[in-house]
Amino acid sequence: MSDPSQPVPTPRVLSMTQLMTPDMVNFSGKIHGGALLKILDEVAFTCAARYTGRYVVTLLVDDVRFRAPVHVGELVTFLASVNWVGRTSLEVGIRVVAENYRTGSSRHVISCFFVMVAMDDDGRPREVTKFTPSNEVEQRRWADAEGRQEVLRASRAARPDDGE
């Protein structure tokens, strides 16, 4: 039983496995990249919403790498983690592994990063809970995410105002 006087740890990781079905195929008989992107967005939403306790929206999808095709009948596991937290936004990194359940073989098929923004009930960005990376893996992910955020800030600064 949990102690109500102790704070509940905010989950920063999520694992979800889904069977790839025939309704998800493209014209070459492989799982359609768009079907995978839809699931990736749902995984990023779920990971970020659990962490923030808020409705979140996708601000940016970054560095989606389709490393290998995904086949009908494979079990695909989406491994998501909160890598970095800003004032109202957070980065969720997702690694995707496809598994042939008959042979037990698995392979890394996709990696990507989503920047999500927490929203309040009126649809405005809302501050999110901070965390301090506590181990080498979290520290590396945080530093890598900081680098991606810096590139994003530089990219925005270099563009002329588009009215937004």
133 CB contacts (<8 Å, ≥6 apart)?
A: 139, 141, 142
- This prediction's pTM: 0.88
pLDDT of residue 10: 67
Distance of CA 51 to the CA centre of its chain: 12
Distance of CA 114 to the CA centre of its chain: 5
Strand, helix or coil for residue 132? coil
Residue pLDDT tens, the chain, 164 long: 444 444 445 689 999 999 999 999 999 999 999 999 999 999 999 999 999 999 999 999 998 999 999 999 999 999 999 999 999 999 999 999 999 999 999 999 999 999 999 999 999 999 999 989 999 999 999 999 999 999 888 887 887 665 54
CA distance 134 to 12: 12
- What would you report as the CA-atom Rg of the chain, rounded to the nearest whole angstrom? 18
Contact 148, 62 (CB under 8 A): yes
| CA-wise closest residue to 95 among 56, 134, 67 | 67
**Which residues in 114-127 are b (16+ Cβ under 10 Å) and which e?**
bbbbbbeeeeebbe
pLDDT of residue 163: 52
CA distance 25 to 31: 4
